[in-house]
Amino acid sequence: MNTTLRTLARRVGAVIADYNYAQHRLTLLQSNPDHYVFAPNQAPDTYEDFLFRTAGPLEHEPPAAARCGKRDVR
């Protein structure tokens, strides 16, 4: 019985942690300055535009193992 409860608690904790990570990522993406420019995939026209786009926190790319789904690394 204890093993079942621990497993269930671990799974609920993992779901909550995953939801928290997704919410944090969504907030970062929505508040990203590139979200508000007309051509986000093009290079900035001026140095001032470059500074505006890189003003916020930059999200680091996850390691290859995490991108492939081999293990959960954050």
- In angstroms, the CA 32 to CA 26 distance is 10
Residue 58 lies in a domain: yes
DSSP string of 13-68, one letter each residue = HHHHHHHHHHHHHHHHHHT-GGGGSS-TTSPPSSHHHHHHHTSSPPPPPPPHHHHH
The confidence score (pLDDT) of residue 44 equals: 79
Range of the domain at 36: 2-68
- Tell me the pTM: 0.53
Whether the per-residue pLDDT at 26 is higher than 90: the answer is no
Q: What is the mean pLDDT of the chain?
A: 79
Banded pLDDT at 14 (limits 50, 70, 90): very high
Structure tokens at 21: 């990570």
Whether the per-residue pLDDT at 58 is higher than 70: the answer is no
Residue 73 lies in a domain: no
Whether the per-residue pLDDT at 17 is higher than 90: the answer is yes
The confidence score (pLDDT) of residue 11 equals: 96
Residue 14 lies in a domain: yes
How many independent structural domains does the chain possess? 1
